[in-house]
Amino acid sequence: MTDTATQTRSVVVERELPYPPEKLWRALTQPHLIAEWLMQNDFAPVPGHEFQFRGDWGSVDCRVMVVEPNKALSYSWAALGLESVVTWTLTPTAKGTHLRMEQAGFRGDQQQAYQGAQFGWKKFFGALEQVLARPE
């Protein structure tokens, strides 16, 4: 018998984007660009750096866990009782970059947070694609 309270779920969003990993990396790690597609922040791509995302509804407390330039980025994401980890993986492809985002750690009793994240990340990805589409 499994205990559903200890099982966790993940929200995963994947996109094939026609840009090099370096361009995606900038959008994922430069605070002024993150603010355009996600939220206001005091992010720095430094392992151990503690930062916040700030929205109209409140804030998210985060800590940078993994930084592999142009390849992988991971940070903790704690807000409204949710303790999770967001991991970005960038894989070069023939036509650009495969971008994968996974937010892991949703408990079975966090259905509202899980559904909110599914909706929210799709919206954030749309905004990210608009930022990426601008000429540099």
Give the total number of structural domains in the chain.
1
Residue 95 falls inside a structural domain: yes
Residue 128 falls inside a structural domain: yes
Q: How many other CB atoms sit within 10 Å of the CB of residue 82?
A: 18
b (16+ CB within 10 A) / e for 64-79: bbebeebebbbbbbbb
Mean pLDDT value across the chain: 94
Residue 5 falls inside a structural domain: no
Tens of pLDDT, residue by residue over 2-58, are 445 568 999 999 999 999 999 999 999 999 999 999 999 999 999 999 999 999 888
Residue 3 falls inside a structural domain: no
CA distances from 2 to 7, 8, 31, 62, 108 (A): 8, 12, 41, 30, 12
Residue 4 falls inside a structural domain: no
Residue 28 falls inside a structural domain: yes
CATH code, 43: 3.30.530.20
